[in-house]
């Protein structure tokens, strides 16, 4: 081969390599538009199953190096489950006022329980709510064994 032929061959090879490198740079900087992939093109999504790592526990039943004592061993026993009390629905109790009878001096209180208004005297019951006592500022009511103080509504 002649010297000129080698030069032209190597020149073509160098231009090809630099052309491919330049093409990659141009494609990276400005990716082609108009190509959009939809979910149907990609296929069905299948999540990868995550493997749980093996777990281990440390049993620290050795003597305390500072105090020189052995740890207390708990006696395994049956723990009784404490039954949870069901939360009772809260009643909307409003105290709107009272009147006093002229002849007997008996107080009658105006209560609204869950939107139902009624006049009650002491120890009167309305919708499961018992009126225990009351005065001009507040009343005491008992509902499912709990006593609650209700101030007068403004």
Q: Which distant-in-sequence residues (6+ apart) come within 8 Å of 106 by Cβ?
A: 100, 121
Report percent pLDDT > 70 for the chain: 86
Distance CA 75, CA 98 (A): 61
Nearest partner of 97 among 105, 115, 109, 112, judged by Cα: 109
Higher pLDDT, 123 or 74: 123
Which pLDDT score, from 0 to 100, does residue 140 have?
92
Structure confidence at residue 56 (pLDDT): 81
Q: Which of 100, 117, 123, 119 is nearest to 109 (CA)?
A: 119
pLDDT value of position 5: 92
Q: Mind listing the pLDDT tens digit for each residue in 54-106?
A: 888 887 778 888 888 877 766 566 667 777 777 767 788 888 888 888 888 88
Nearest residue to 138 via CA among 79, 95, 77: 95
Q: Tokens representing 9?
A: 């061959």
Instruction: Give the residue-averaged pLDDT of 116-131.
Output: 86
Mean pLDDT of the chain: 83
Q: Report the percentage of the chain scoring pLDDT > 90.
A: 16
* The pair of three-digit structure tokens given for residue 95, joined into one six-digit string: 């105290």
Q: How confident is the model at residue 144 (pLDDT cuts 50, 70, 90)?
A: confident
CA distance linking residue 9 with residue 126, whole number of Å: 107
Residue 150: burial class (beta carbons within 10 Å; 0-12, 13-18, 19+): middle
Please check the confidence at residue 31 and state whether its pLDDT lies above 80.
Answer: no
Instruction: Identify which has the larger pLDDT, 48 or 34.
Output: 48
pTM for the structure as a whole: 0.43
Query: What confidence score (pLDDT) does residue 152 get?
Result: 87
Convert 84-151 into a string of H (helix), E (strand) and C (coil).
CCCCCCCCCEEEEEEEECCCCCCEEEEEEECCEEEEECCCCEECCEEEEEECCCEEEEEECCEEEEEE
């Amino acid at each position: 081969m002649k010297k000129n032929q080698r030069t032209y061959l190597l020149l073509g090879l160098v231009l090809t390599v630099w052309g491919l490198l330049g093409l990659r740079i141009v494609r990276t900087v400005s990716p082609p538009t108009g190509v959009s992939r939809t979910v149907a093109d990609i296929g069905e999504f299948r999540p990868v199953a995550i493997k749980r790592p093996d777990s281990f526990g440390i049993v620290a039943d050795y003597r305390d190096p500072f105090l020189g004592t052995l740890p207390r061993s708990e006696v395994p026993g049956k723990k009784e489950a404490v039954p949870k009390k069901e939360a009772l629905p809260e009643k909307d109790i409003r105290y709107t006022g009272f009147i006093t009878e002229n002849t007997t001096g008996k107080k009658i209180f105006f209560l609204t329980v869950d939107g139902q208004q009624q006049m009650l005297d002491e120890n009167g019951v309305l919708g499961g709510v018992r009126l225990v006592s009351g005065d001009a500022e507040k009343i005491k009511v008992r509902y499912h064994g709990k006593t609650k103080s209700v101030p007068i509504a403004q």
